[in-house]
Amino acid sequence: MTLVQSDADNEVRDPAPWWQSAVVYQVYPRSFADSDGDGIGDVRGVIQQLDHLVYLGIDVIWLSPIYQSPNDDNGYDISDYENIDPTFGTLADVDELIAAAHARGVRIVMDLVVNHTSDEHPWFIESSSSSTNPKRDWYWWRPARDGHSIGDYGAEPTNWESFFSGSTWQFDDRTGEYYLHLFSKKQPDLNWENPEVRHAIHGMMNRWLDRGIDGFRMDVINLISKDPSLPDGAVGPQARWGNGFPHYSAGPRIHEFLHEMHQAVFAGRDSVLMTVGEMPGVTVDEGRMFTAPGRQELDMVFQFEHVGLDHGDAGKWIVHPVPLPKLKASFARWQTGLAGHGWNSLYWNNHDQPRVVSRFGNDGAYWRESATALATVLHMQQGTPFIYQGEEIGMTNVRFTSIDDYRDVETLNYFREAVRDRGLDAALVLSSLRETSRDNARTPMQWSGRDGAGFSDGEPWIPTNRNHRVINVEDQRGVDGSVLEHYRKLIAMRHTLPVIRTGEFLLLEPKHMSLFVFERVSSHGRLLVAANLSNLVETLDLTSETWAPFRDADILLDNQQNFVFRQLLPWQAVVLARDMHSSRH
């Protein structure tokens, strides 16, 4: 059977938004490409490497924050939303990047970090200067808990624990009150209850769109509406802190705030834009509401379910192997839960997550095979895939052996708290960081096997993974079967096969411990995606009666190029097709 090109005018009739057949590439500018040798990646570095992204075939670049920032949390603590941090370049460089990307048909989405600002943002400097300052109410200020004096155990206004260790409250002696910070103490939370705050943010967003960017990735946007009565969280057995999450996640006014933003910023130009809200803890039902087109809130959300499955009771720092049926069930719930209602984003990696090939694959004996198999089962789902820099060449976790190699505020706070305050063994904590730290994702992009990895001529801000000698762009480009070439194929398939955008997702063999098998079915054709996510050979007998429809199907993709319709080799992944209609859309 050959591909039928009969559906070519489908795109004219099809009202689907452009981002439903797009692939996004996340650039973490600090670690992507350093054009001036200071060891820190920059905007000009991104411009210089655009050819790589065009070669890969992606449609959109999401740029992690490059705004002015004291860089306590690598730019997620912004002190000026409308200027660029000098370490990354200038506004003129950004204009040039936008123009250069657009000239190549690539769109640019910027990070929007408005749950909090930096404590060095002029708004916070004003707000903290006196309790009567007009901007006082732009942040969450509260006195010590009734009957407590400052510094008492439990004096904080609530018992909430910060994402980055310790209390969410920081005492400020200028006015004798505490301010709320869900993340680091240098990231005070904005008070979205105040209409002036929302108005200022909408204005800033509009100015960025007028500058020519194509949308926003919105940092922890489900946390902007808090229960204004700020209740304590439930305290688990032996826990020092309570769980504030139910009181600040998807709070009472979240849908109102997002719809208002849509009206104030996106209305009239939303068909050309793309918005994605990062939402730790979001449920399928909420995800459906946030992304239902008629509600006019967001195009899609980043959900966290699949990247939380290996976390233990104590959170992200102690990880457990994930039984495959659990992972498959999670994906399937999101696939079917949003189908026909909203839209999924698809991701394995970003700048906060350990590298997927080390986490869910086998980065030793089956490095290439497992990187490509994991890519296949994600990219063949319905949704908009996000590729994080380095994922397309199978970059792995870094094996740092000293705390001095780490840079991430979350990692360093946790290490300090675990070792100094709780007395855990430092070597043990370090071994857990090798699996869990966000810095696993933040080592320099591996462009070549030479010294400096083609990232920088200077000393990089964080050590380079030594395996850049064998894992790098240069060695994979044009090499058939490489991780890079496999990603190129997956991206091209999304662009040419509408069934990947439109097809119903049907999970098969849900209980199988090694095989991830699913079908995608629509009037555009029918795909069978089958992957062996284990180190052992597994039987999958497509010549048997059960699999009759696929007995003589076309092999569209095979990461080992030797599929015999009876078994899958360790980490083999195939995509089979029948009744296909193809079009560029």
538 binds ligand TEU (CB under 6 A): no
486 binds ligand TEU (CB under 6 A): no
220 binds ligand TEU (CB under 6 A): yes
Q: Are 318 and 294 in contact (CB under 8 A)?
A: no
CB of 316 to ligand TEU, least distance (A): 5
28 binds ligand TEU (CB under 6 A): no
Query: Among residue numbers 148 through 207, which ones bind ligand TEU (CB under 6 A)?
Result: 163, 183
Residue nearest ligand TEU (C-beta atom)? 76
386 binds ligand TEU (CB under 6 A): no
- CB neighbours of 305 closer than 8 A, spacing ≥ 6? 330, 333, 334
For ligand TEU, give the closer residue by CB, 166 or 498. 166
> Alpha carbon of 234 to those of 7, 144, 251, 304, 468: distances in Å?
56, 19, 17, 22, 46
End-to-end CA distance of the chain: 22
Catalytic residue among 278, 391, 392, 410: 278
CB of 374 to ligand TEU, least distance (A): 20
Q: In the set 7, 72, 214, 219, which binds ligand TEU (CB under 6 A)? A: 219
73 binds ligand TEU (CB under 6 A): yes
For ligand TEU, give the closer residue by CB, 164 or 366. 164
Rounded Cα distance between 371 and 105, Å, is 28
- CB neighbours of 207 closer than 8 A, spacing ≥ 6? 82
280 binds ligand TEU (CB under 6 A): yes
Containing 475, the helix (H) or strand (E) segment is helix 473-476
For ligand TEU, give the closer residue by CB, 57 or 280. 280
219 among known catalytic residues:
yes
CB of 555 to ligand TEU, least distance (A): 37
Residue type at position 338: L
Query: 178: helix, coil or strand?
Result: strand
Which x/- pattern, by CB under 6 A, does the window 232-271 give for ligand TEU? ----------------------------------------
76 binds ligand TEU (CB under 6 A): yes
Catalytic residue among 219, 286, 439, 538: 219
Of 535, 531, 492, which Cα lies nearest the Cα of 375? 531
- Tell me which residue has tokens 């048909």: 105
Residue type at position 310: D
For ligand TEU, give the closer residue by CB, 288 or 438. 438
The arrangement of strands across the sheet holding 215-218 comes to: 300-302, 274-278, 215-218, 107-112, 60-63, 24-27, 384-388, 345-347
CB of 190 to ligand TEU, least distance (A): 12
Report the alpha-carbon angle 242-246-248, nearest 5.
95
Return the percent helix, strand and coil in the chain, to nearest 5: 35, 20, 50
Chain centroid, CA 391 distance in Å: 12
Beta partners for 418? Answer: none
Q: Are 518 and 378 in contact (CB under 8 A)?
A: no
Quick one: DSSP state of residue 463? P
CB of 392 to ligand TEU, least distance (A): 20
461 binds ligand TEU (CB under 6 A): no
Which x/- pattern, by CB under 6 A, does the window 112-141 give for ligand TEU? -x----------------------------
CB of 139 to ligand TEU, least distance (A): 15
Query: Among residue numbers 513 through 532, which ones bind ligand TEU (CB under 6 A)?
Result: none
Q: In the set 119, 156, 260, 352, which binds ligand TEU (CB under 6 A)? A: 352
421 among known catalytic residues:
no
Beta partners for 583? Answer: none
For ligand TEU, give the closer residue by CB, 76 or 487. 76
Annotated catalytic residues are 219, 278
Q: Which residues bind ligand TEU (CB under 6 A)?
A: 73, 76, 113, 163, 183, 219-220, 278, 280, 316, 351-352, 410, 438
